[in-house]
Amino acid sequence: MEAIQMVWFILAQVNLIGQNDYPGATWVGITADFSGDGVLDAYVFYGNDSVVIYDGLSSTPIGGYRAPAGYNITLYRIGYRTVLLYYYNYSDGQMQFQIYEDLNNLVYTSDVFNYSNYGYIYPINYDGDQYTDILVRVDSALYIYETTYSLNSKEMKPSNGGVIGRVDMVSGNGQLYIPVRITGDATLRVFDSRGKLLLRREISGNRVEMNLPAGVYTYEISSPEVGISGKLIVR
């Protein structure tokens, strides 16, 4: 099992590591080799909504990101030259993520998640394969996005227009949130552990009212633009 490397920022006061090198910076972190050249790179925050990656060898900017208006920003490495950006707005209870390949090529933007009390997004190896997964926590619900990015491989893994391969969903209070963009009509099917069809429903949008006993199920969602399946946990 590949141990997923989560990039935790070891933050230091800018004036301890060269404030003159980064005019206007508020924080600097040095934790991972985003550029893939074998040298740790610097991640420089300008306020709470902007971060720039500086190459560890040349000290030149190799990636720059800004959060949408009103959001804060957090940055993780999830693969070779692949960046996960997590945006969050504490006052509005909203969060969102984006994935950049080759540091600056935006390949995926998630829907906006709304939470009441608690929410976060971070990379994790959920299913034990060689690829990074993305965990989204929205209050008491957990959603898993499976990607095709490997931390330890320098081979770029194509995203094929999106990064969702499978989604594990947790349903609570009779409401199921589907963390994929469904713009037209789709069909949701839910099966028990023996494969018996328990529920078939036409859905539109990403919220479904349902009434199933607590337990573990499998599901399928199919439409002209979406085809996914996975595990459904009802609490």
Count: domains in the chain: 1
pLDDT of 7 higher than 70:
no
The mean pLDDT of 78-103, rounded to a whole number, is 93
Report pLDDT digits (tens) over 132-179.
889 888 887 788 888 889 888 887 766 655 666 666 777 766 667 666
195 found inside a domain: no
User: Which pLDDT value is given to residue 99?
Assistant: 94
pLDDT of 3 higher than 90:
no
Report pLDDT digits (tens) over 216-234.
888 888 887 767 788 887 7
40 found inside a domain: yes
Pairing type for strands 175-177 and 185-191 reads unpaired
Closest by CA to 77, choosing from 22, 132, 121, 28, is: 132
Other residues' Cβ atoms within 10 Å of the Cβ of residue 226: 17
Residues 6+ apart with CB under 8 A from 173: none
Q: Which two tokens stand for residue 131?
A: 């690829």
User: Which pLDDT value is given to residue 6?
Assistant: 37
Side chain identity at residue 225, one-letter code? E
Q: Are 24 and 46 in contact (CB under 8 A)?
A: yes
SS3 of residue 113 by DSSP? strand
Tell me the pLDDT band of 8, cut-offs 50, 70 and 90.
very low
36 found inside a domain: yes
63 found inside a domain: yes
Check the CA dihedral 31-26-12-87 and report its sign: negative
Most confident of 29-33, 83-87, 166-170, 176-180: 83-87
pLDDT of 11 higher than 50:
no
pTM, to two decimals: 0.71
217 found inside a domain: no
168 found inside a domain: no
What is the longest distance spanned by two Cα atoms in the chain? Answer: 65
CA-CA distance, 221 to 150, in Å (whole number)? 27
User: Which pLDDT value is given to residue 9?
Assistant: 35
124 found inside a domain: no
DSSP symbols for 76-110: EEEETTEEEEEEEETTTTEEEEEEEETTTEEEEEP
Q: Give, rounded to a whole angstrom, the gap between the first and last alpha carbons of the chain.
A: 29
- Give the domain range for residue 7: 1-116
Higher pLDDT, 165 or 34: 34
221 found inside a domain: no
